[in-house]
């Protein structure tokens, strides 16, 4: 059967999702724990191949197995074998042809900025500390220009191999609670580093460097250097994925 896992992790100590020749990754930790548990060689396929240091509450991985353990029980057994910074939230049987990167989906990410005078060490692992004042109203004004279907070439790492840089952002909401500014973005899919470049650009809008009304111009330029820097990985969390027809 094909099994679908919902995977949460604190990415601080991992070299990202994808298998690496050096360094432990979420994918390698899952493959090892699953192979040990099920007594067969398991290779998972992930929905979102998050970068080093990026966190998740709801990434999705699938794998095929001959086990007789009911799919929904695998989460409990697997959590006993995983390190404490990776926790399976759900396991269930999937359709035999389900592939988490080849079907239409809505992905949601959150970028969290800790905006205060000094670092809060209890939040340092999953926020980006930024100590200059940020104007959330300006950031919201800029954000509205990014919603919808656009060519996001300016917001894509030059290392990307994507065929097209057109993507659709369904929603982009910015909230502030105490000293944490959260940028929550849902879309059909994201280019390499796209959410972090959007966050880095919105920070420059918030601190007064970029005029909110310049965002359409930055999109039009289709040039990575027109946008702001790539914000640090630690602020980014993949919140979840909804698949079409589910």
Give the active site residues: 51
Residue 8 as a binder of a second copy (CB under 8 A): the answer is yes
The size of the interface with a second copy (CB under 8 A), counted in residues, is 24
Among 19, 24, 57, 180, binds a second copy (CB under 8 A): 57
Report the residue from 22, 80, 102, 121 that binds a second copy according to the rule CB under 8 A.
121
Closer by beta carbon to a second copy, 101 or else 124: 124
**d(C-alpha 40, C-alpha 73), whole Å:** 17
Residue from 102, 117, 163, 164 touching a second copy (CB under 8 A): that is: 117
Residue 23: phi, psi to the nearest 5?
95, 145
Strand 236-243, strand 55-64: pairing: parallel
Residues in a beta bridge with 148: 169
Identity of the residue, 89 or 207, whose beta carbon is nearer to a second copy in the bound complex: 89
Nearer to a second copy, 8 or 142 (CB): 8
Q: Label the pairing between strands 2-9 and 86-94.
A: antiparallel
CB of 117 to a second copy, least distance (A): 8
Q: Which is nearer to a second copy, 105 or 126 (CB)?
A: 126
Check: CB of residue 17 under 8 Å from CB of residue 98.
Answer: no
CA neighbor of 50 nearest in space, from 125, 114, 109, 126: 109
For 46, the token pair is 């992930």
Q: How many Å apart are CA 34 and CA 160, to the nearest integer? A: 31
What character string, x for contact with a second copy (CB under 8 A) and - otherwise, covers 74-93?
-x---x----xxxxxxx---
Q: Using the rule CB under 8 A, is 118 a contact of a second copy? A: yes
Least Å distance, CB 182 to a second copy, is 12
Helix (H, G, I), strand (E, B) or coil at 246: coil
């Amino acid at each position: 059967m094909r099994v679908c896992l919902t995977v949460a992790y604190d990415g601080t100590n991992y070299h990202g999702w994808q298998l690496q020749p050096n360094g432990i990754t979420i994918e390698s930790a899952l493959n090892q724990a699953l192979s040990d548990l099920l007594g067969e060689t398991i290779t998972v396929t992930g929905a979102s191949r998050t970068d080093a240091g990026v966190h998740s509450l709801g990434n999705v991985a699938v794998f095929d197995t001959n086990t007789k353990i009911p799919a929904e029980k695998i989460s409990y057994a697997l959590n006993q074998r995983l390190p404490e910074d990776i926790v399976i939230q759900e396991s269930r049987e999937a359709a035999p042809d389900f592939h988490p990167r080849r079907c239409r989906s809505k992905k949601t990410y959150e970028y969290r900025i800790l905006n205060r005078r000094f670092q809060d060490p209890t939040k340092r692992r999953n926020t980006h500390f930024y100590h200059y004042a940020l104007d959330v109203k300006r950031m919201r004004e800029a954000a509205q220009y990014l919603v919808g279907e656009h060519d996001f070439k300016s917001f894509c790492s030059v290392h990307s191999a994507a065929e097209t840089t057109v993507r659709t952002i369904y929603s982009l909401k910015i909230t502030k609670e105490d000293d944490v500014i959260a940028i929550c973005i849902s879309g059909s899919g994201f280019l390499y580093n796209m959410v972090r470049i959007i966050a880095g650009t919105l920070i420059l809008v918030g601190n007064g460097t970029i005029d909110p009304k310049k965002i359409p111009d930055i999109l039009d330029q289709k040039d990575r250097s027109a946008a702001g820097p790539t914000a640090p990985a630690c602020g980014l969390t993949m919140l979840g994925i909804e698949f079409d027809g589910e």
